Homo-oligomer: A and B are copies of this chain.
């Protein structure tokens, strides 16, 4: 991903010079720790490239870019507690290495740092509008997380509800990242609408792709337990699509398996064969393709630039990922 380097180099450089105090170490050490874990930095890259798409040097979008990356890390700190995750990016999670109280507090503190970062938007930007965009974006992420938790205990989740949930959990912050980049460039309403469409579509495509890769990815490369989602009885795009298309008997037996998680290897194989016989795999591929297409059509409306080429490259890279 050579084309990403100018963006990630700028982001890493600025993240490292964040003015986080040394003390109290209980508040700031976990913040430094999770930021030091790295990550793909997709969200800040989207802010920078969006600023460029609107005709302004990406440097102007640095505060917005850092802000969304800090927001993302704040949500990871809290999500890892909620999901009881032991590791992230090959490192112990903060609530394991420290404790739950420290991880809650570090997340709260990082949320504050993210918002303080947005205080530094360059002169001429509409600070209040950008703050509004960021806050409503984070609230939508919270709503998505609440739906995700609610779905665990419900057997009647519809595909539409699922799409609302992933649009909140993943799409909202990608869209916000792009719009804040646009606002940093003084983008007009049409441009903001296009950036929103790209971010939202990428989020949906990416998430359904995750659901699909869980089933079809090469286990030696995927880095997760294959079919882990089925094993846990998660309501994914594939599961909900299959439940809409399978026979009454198949539906009854799948919902029965959900009562006794984790599912056995035989039950997992049975479900994968239902995915195949009901055309669920093809339906997922079709949806992913259509969301990426939506993102590309919106991107097409911007004038040509290196930024446009870079985002096009990123979309191609994401489209073809196998892990």
Contacts and interface: CB of A to CB of B under 8 A. Distances in A.
B24 A143 contact: yes
Given A27-B142, A108-B111, A128-B127, A116 B135 contact: yes
B109 A135 contact: no
A102 interface: yes
Contacts of A132: 116, 119
A61 B131 CA distance: 20
Contacts of A101: 81-82, 149
Interface residues of A, number: 36
A142 B105 contact: yes
A143 B27 contact: yes
Say what secondary structure dominates the interface of chain A. Answer: helix
A219 interface: no
A119 to B, nearest CB: 6
Contact of A26 (B102, B109, B149): B149
Contacts of A81: 100-101, 104
22 contacts: A26-B146, A26-B149, A78-B104, A81-B101, A81-B104, A82-B104, A100-B100, A101-B149, A105-B146, A105-B149, A109-B139, A109-B142, A109-B146, A112-B142, A115-B115, A116-B132, A116-B136, A116-B139, A119-B128, A119-B135, A127-B128, A131-B131
Given A24-B150, A115-B131, 20 more contacts: A26-B146, A26-B147, A27-B142, A27-B143, A78-B104, A78-B108, A81-B100, A81-B101, A82-B100, A100-B100, A101-B149, A104-B107, A105-B145, A105-B146, A112-B139, A112-B142, A113-B139, A115-B115, A115-B135, A119-B131
Interface of A: 24-27, 78, 81-82, 100-102, 104-105, 107-109, 111-113, 115-116, 119, 127-128, 131-132, 135-136, 138-139, 142-143, 145-147, 149-150
